[in-house]
Structures are given as C-alpha cells and as structure tokens.
Amino acid sequence: MIIGLNLPNYGSLGYRDAIVAIAQTAEALGYASLWTNDHVLIPTSRPEPFGNVLESLTTLSYLAASTSRIQLGTGILVLPQRDPVLVAKQAATISHLSGGRLAMAVGVGYIKEEYCYLRADFSNRGHLADEYISAMRELFESDTPEFHGPHINYSDVLFSPRPSPRIPILVGGDSPAALKRAATLGDGWYGLWQSPDQVRTAIARINAIGRKSQFEVSLRVLTRVGGPIPDSDSETTLQGDVDAIVQKIQRYSDAGVDRIVIELVSSELDDFLRQLNRFAYEITPRITRTSD
C-alpha cells in the first residue's frame, strides 16, 4: 500500500509556514505523495473549511522548491472551472521545475455558485471535463499537438517543455459518469471518503467498462491517529488506535486500493505533525506493501 498525504492548504493550517513544515516533514518521513485541495471563490453560505484556501497549482509550484523527492499532486482540481490549455501549461511547468514529480487528480466539483463566479458552465461540467482531459493529454503527449472539440480548438502550435515523465491524470468522483470518465480517460481513480465495500463496487463498475492495464486506485480517507473523529462514519474513516487503523487499511487493500491518501483531522499544526509522525512510525511499517 502506498501512503500519501492530503495537504491542508485551507482552513486554520492554510498558511505558508504550516504547509512548508507539513510538506518537508512528510517527505522526511517517507510519505510517497502530497495532494492539494482546490477551491477558488466560496460563497458565504459555505464558509468552512474553504473560506481560507491557498490556490492548488501555485501552492504546488511553491512546494516544488521546498521539497526534492515527494510526489506532488492536485487532489482534486475542479477542471471545468479552468482553461485547460492554461492548466496544461501550468502543470507542465510544475512538472519541469519539480523534476517530473507532478500527478493530477481532476474532477467536476459540486458548488454551483463557484462555477457562476468563475463564468464556467455548471450544467455541462461533465462533458467539459471529458473534453478538457483529452485536450490536455494531446498537449502533454503529442509532438505536433492538434485538437478540435466543441469548446477547445488548436493546431499548428508549439507546447514546450512537454512533461517527462508523463503526468498521470486520475479522475475523481463516484457517480456513474465519473467512473466511466476514470475508466476511459484516466490513468486511475481518485476516490473520496468511501468504505471498503463502496470502493469494491466502484472498482467493479470501472472494470466492467474497461480500463487501462496500468490503472491506479487512490482513496482519500479522513484520518485521526489515536482518537475518534466526531460525527463521522467509522466505515469511511481511519480512526482510533493503531491496530484498528492497520486492520482497516488491510480491508481497503483487499478491496483493491493501491494508494491511501490520509486526510488528518486536526486544526493545530503541532497536533497535525504529531499524527503525521505516529502514522509513519507506528502504522506504515505494519502495512503489507509500502512504496515511495
């Protein structure tokens, strides 16, 4: 099992010194990857926890200079809210500056007001995501990129530097459309807050559609080491003592998860780092297969 970390680039820990300390500690402890969250403009009716949030891609660019080995990822970038050609250039730049460490998980989001503020089409976001992923792949991978779609058109263009190694694109979401998108367009699926049984069902649906031979299943999971998570579902979280967490991770592994991205529940930096250390020293060594 590969272990990644959801970076709290939002809320009480969404400030420079905290994210640098977390990123550098995670790298030193051997975590495989670090994933940012994405919101841009949140309505006042939905203030928590994203009233304060650092932008996803620029945060990764900053952390690329603050780290040297850990993989950096968007988890999840709301792709239809953005210009995909600009996102492709930003992603290729981060990949180049980080020495090829970028991965991307993309999705369609859920806040209609945010789409309106960004002049994006909420009702058509699924179709836009399909087109945007394809348009970005063409720029990333073609010697002579050319793309003609309902919304994105380009030909006779230069796109350099192209990312090397290639940037894996995982697709988030658990709707039938999202799972189809993951199977047909993605290098993997990036699930959120699912139980082992829900993961097994999602993977079965992806397999039934047909997926690439090299396909990664990642899952972001709310995590609290050494205590409970208030008002949470124990089936969709990692919480409690070390033994309970290890057993739950094994259930996720048995269900087909390749990478767990822990989302530590903490609003204080010292407590966050304490949990980060405990997980690395007490849990990771007991997991059946580790990778970095």
pLDDT digits over 201-219, tens only? 999 999 999 988 899 999 9
Given a cut of 60, is residue 21 above it in pLDDT? yes
Calpha distance 125→194 (Å, rounded): 23
User: Which tokens sit at 104?
Assistant: 């991307």
Nearest to 172 by CA among 132, 212, 217, 138: 217
User: Which tokens sit at 153?
Assistant: 């058109």
Average pLDDT of the segment spanning 154-162: 98
**Position 213, amino acid:** S
> Where does the pLDDT of residue 288 fall: very low under 50, low under 70, confident under 90, or very high at 90 and above?
low
Cα angle 235-191-132, degrees, rounded to a multiple of 5: 165
Calpha distance 85→88 (Å, rounded): 5
**How much is the pLDDT for 278?**
98
Cβ atoms 239, 283 nearer than 8 A: no
Average pLDDT of the segment spanning 144-159: 98
How many separate helices (H) and strands (E) can be counted in the chain?
9, 11
| Selected residue with higher pLDDT from 289 and 183 | 183
Calpha distance 186→7 (Å, rounded): 22
> Which residues have CB under 8 Å from 130's CB, separation 6+?
181, 185
pLDDT tens track for 258-281: 999 999 999 999 999 999 999 999
How many Cβ atoms from other residues are within 10 Å of residue 186's Cβ? 26
Strand (E) or helix (H) holding 21: helix 16-29
In the chain, what are the domain boundaries?
A: 2-286
Calpha distance 199→63 (Å, rounded): 31
**How much is the pLDDT for 174?**
95
E strands present in 40-99: 71-78
Calpha distance 108→194 (Å, rounded): 18
Given a cut of 70, is residue 177 above it in pLDDT? yes
**Considering the entire predicted model, what is its pTM?**
0.95
**Position 21, amino acid:** A
Q: Do the bridges between strand 147-148 and strand 153-154 make them parallel or antiparallel, or are there none, so unpaired?
A: antiparallel
Given a cut of 50, is residue 290 above it in pLDDT? no
Cβ atoms 31, 280 nearer than 8 A: yes
* Dihedrals phi, psi of 93, to nearest 5 degrees: -65, -45
Q: Was domain 2-286 assigned CATH 3.30.980.20?
A: no
Q: Please give the mean pLDDT across all residues of the chain.
A: 96
